[in-house]
């Protein structure tokens, strides 16, 4: 299975903002975006040329790809799927990205980052409606219940998760049972939940050139 490698914080610095790829570190003063708010590279904080419309669209696409940990071909496939629906293509694209199983595990607070959620799913430690699903890109549907495998719930990895889940706020399209460490999909993302730190409209414009 193809995956992104390399320093995750470098991706955040390239975009000039936090993509929340490192879990708790992103909320501390150790975050490289806070410590070094310049783009990565050997030249340091040198002046940059004014970006072109194409460059702006490209950066939004890259930002979304890096945020969800998706490679180009799969991201393009998501866009093609979104274009086949009648309505706002940008909103459909965000819905598809948000309803990936690894993202749902992250949104429920069962993993500290999307990369950790992806690993849990790939290792067969996540159950959907009581059945093991080991495909991170699996599209969850309304009414489905997402839970941790019982053996994982008893592991040291999840020892201190209970207290964190009690304080965790989930999107309105998800519900969380912090005690049982399970979540339910209530519907599809809509309204404010479609605003995820990137401009989907610019991504549509990029692929529609």
Task: List, in order of start, the domains of the chain with CATH numbers.
Answer: 1-48 (1.10.1050.10), 52-99+198-209 (1.10.1050.10), 100-185 (3.10.290.10)
pLDDT mean over 145-154: 86
User: How many whole angstroms separate alpha carbon 184 and alpha carbon 188?
Assistant: 12
3-state DSSP assignment of residue 126:
strand
Alpha-carbon distance of 105 to 184, in angstroms, equals: 10
Is the pLDDT at 118 greater than 60, yes or no? Answer: yes
Inform me whether the pLDDT recorded for 161 exceeds 80. no
The least confident of 49-58, 72-81, 84-93, 148-157 is 148-157
Question: Would the pLDDT of 105 be above 70?
Answer: yes
* Alpha carbons 162 and 167: distance in angstroms, whole number: 9
* Contact status, residue 9 vs residue 32, Cβ threshold 8 Å: yes
pLDDT averaged over the chain? Answer: 83
**How far is 108 from 152, CA to CA, in rounded Å?**
16
Average pLDDT over residues 182-200: 91
Listed in sequence order, the residues at least 6 apart from 145 whose beta carbon sits closer than 8 Å to its beta carbon are: 128, 129, 130, 182, 183, 184, 185
165 has a pLDDT exceeding 90: no
CA 114 to CA 35: how far, in whole Å? 23
């Amino acid at each position: 299975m193809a995956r992104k490698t390399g320093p995750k914080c470098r991706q955040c610095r390239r975009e000039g903002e936090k993509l929340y790829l490192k879990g708790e570190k992103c909320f501390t003063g150790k975050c490289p975006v806070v410590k070094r708010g310049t783009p990565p590279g050997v030249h340091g904080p040198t002046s940059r040329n004014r970006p072109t419309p194409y460059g702006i669209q490209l950066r939004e696409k890259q930002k979304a790809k890096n945020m969800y940990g998706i490679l180009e071909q799969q991201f393009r496939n998501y866009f093609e799927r979104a274009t086949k629906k009648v309505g706002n293509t940008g909103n459909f694209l965000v819905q598809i990205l948000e309803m990936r199983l690894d993202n749902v595990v992250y949104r429920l607070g069962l993993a500290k980052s999307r990369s950790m959620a992806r690993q849990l799913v790939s290792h067969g430690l996540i159950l959907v409606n009581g059945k093991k699903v080991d495909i991170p890109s699996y599209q969850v549907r309304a009414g489905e219940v997402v839970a941790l495998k019982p053996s994982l719930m008893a592991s040291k990895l999840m020892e201190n998760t209970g207290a964190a889940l009690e304080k965790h706020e989930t999107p309105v399209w998800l519900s969380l049972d912090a005690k049982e460490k399970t979540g339910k999909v209530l519907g599809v993302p809509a309204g404010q939940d479609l605003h995820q730190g990137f401009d989907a409209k610019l991504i549509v414009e990029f692929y529609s050139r």
